[in-house]
Amino acid sequence: MGKTTPLYPQHLAAGGKIVDFAGWEMPLHYGSQLEEHHQVRRDAGVFDVSHMTVLDLSGERCQQFLRYLLANDVARLKTTGKALYSCLLNSQGGVIDDLIVYYRDSEHYRLVVNAATRDKDLAWITQQALPFEVTIRERDDLAMLAVQGPQARSKALVLCPAAMQEAVAELANFYGTWGPDDWFVARTGYTGEDGFEIMLPAAEAPALWEALLAAGVAPVGLGARDTLRLEAGMCLYGQDMDETTSPYAAGLAWTVAWTPEDRPFIGREALATDYLEGPQQVLSGLVLLEKGVLRGHQTVTIEGLGTGITTSGTFSPTLGVAIALARLPAGVGEQVTVRIRNRDVPARLVKPPFVRNGKALISL
């Protein structure tokens, strides 16, 4: 059996169908992946994301280190709790991982990186940190729950420690707050809905989970997590991008901070051509124009331009049509089709996200 989070007994009690995810025993769903998806868009759902990796960095040169390590610029973070989404690049400009970094003060930052990339991220960050004498503390003593949906914040707020409730209630989008007793609550998420990601001591996580369920928050598994994030146009590392992909080919050019020009960061030189001349490949959204399901690794043909490939695809429960992210040649073409089994099915290019705050952003 793989690793389990502190909430494993709760997953079993809620009827979770357990599958392996990156060496962890995680719930794929608790009965209906589609129902769980709808719950998050309409009300509130809770995800156990304790398998993700939380790193607390500290040191006098912490900011200097992160400005070198990350493609986005942490100097943009000046308020305690402010968050930044960034790619971690290798020197060829390929994406090692995508992550969120929270600013505590110039000598203390928190990074949250993916579960599947924990080992390589930790090795890379530790090695790069050596000349900066930054201390890296992995917070595997913490669990993490994401509560997402239009009712998520109001239901989760009252379950946070009393001393931090006011600060939590006032959190602006993409900000977090450190509370007593090692709690940290951030207004971030991976669903395109409002909500919180709550980090807390592992021993307290089961009680929070049960209190959330008692408040009517639905348990939501990894299956719905994937359909939600894809509707929200969010990338999944390992699927939409990997070390052979530049941020440009992953639709993440907006996360690369080119100014100030005198900030060297790992991968800067390698990306310069994409930046100056425009990238050869882009990531686009696709909507299938007939009934069917889009998946990853399907060939996309753009008349007059060439072929590309879908990276992630699904049937969108909220929209009722198939959607996908696809890596395509840059440029303007005509008719778009996707090869599904032995047919070329017509599709339409759209700019993601497909859904935000429960509403369709694309015309159907």
Partner 1 sequence: MSNVPTQLKYLQSHEWLRDEGDGSVTIGITDHAQALLGDLVFVELPELGNKLQAGHECAVVESVKSASDVYSPVSGEVIAINELLVDAPETVNTDPYGAGWLCRVRLSADNDLAGLLDATSYTALLAEESH
Beta strands 321-329 and 281-288, pairing class:
antiparallel
Nearer to partner 1, 120 or 295 (CB): 295
For residue 180, report the phi and psi dihedrals to the nearest 5 degrees. -70, 160
Our finding on whether 297 is near partner 1 (CB under 8 A) is: no
By C-alpha distance, which of 199, 207, 88, 72 is closest to 140?
199
How many angstroms separate the CA atoms of 114 and 64, rounded? 23
Q: Which of 3, 61, 295, 348 touches partner 1 by CB under 8 A? A: 295
Nearer to partner 1, 105 or 290 (CB): 290
Stretch that binds partner 1, among 32-40, 119-127, 151-159, 271-279 (CB under 8 A): 32-40
Question: Considering the complex, what minimum distance in angstroms separates the CB of residue 246 from partner 1?
Answer: 29
Our finding on whether 18 is near partner 1 (CB under 8 A) is: no
Our finding on whether 341 is near partner 1 (CB under 8 A) is: yes
Our finding on whether 21 is near partner 1 (CB under 8 A) is: no
Q: Which of 148, 188, 314, 318 touches partner 1 by CB under 8 A? A: 314
* Burial group, residue 181, by CB count within 10 angstroms (0-12, 13-18, 19+): exposed
Our finding on whether 29 is near partner 1 (CB under 8 A) is: yes
Our finding on whether 317 is near partner 1 (CB under 8 A) is: yes
Extract the tokens encoding 257. Answer: 């901070």
Q: Which of 223, 267, 279, 353 touches partner 1 by CB under 8 A? A: 223
Our finding on whether 34 is near partner 1 (CB under 8 A) is: yes
Contact flags string 117-156 toward partner 1, x per CB under 8 A: ----------------------------------------
Contacts 24+ apart (CB under 8 A), 102-107: 102/77, 102/176, 102/184, 102/186, 103/74, 103/77, 103/78, 103/79, 104/80, 104/178, 105/80, 106/62, 106/63, 107/58, 107/59, 107/60, 107/62, 107/63
Q: Which of 292, 296, 329, 333 touches partner 1 by CB under 8 A? A: 292
Contact flags string 62-91 toward partner 1, x per CB under 8 A: ------------------------------
By C-alpha distance, which of 290, 286, 300 is closest to 351?
286
Our finding on whether 291 is near partner 1 (CB under 8 A) is: yes
Angle separating helix axes 222-231 and 33-42, nearest 10 degrees: 50
Q: Which positions lie near partner 1, rule CB under 8 A?
A: 28-29, 32-34, 223, 227, 291-293, 295, 314-315, 317, 322, 341
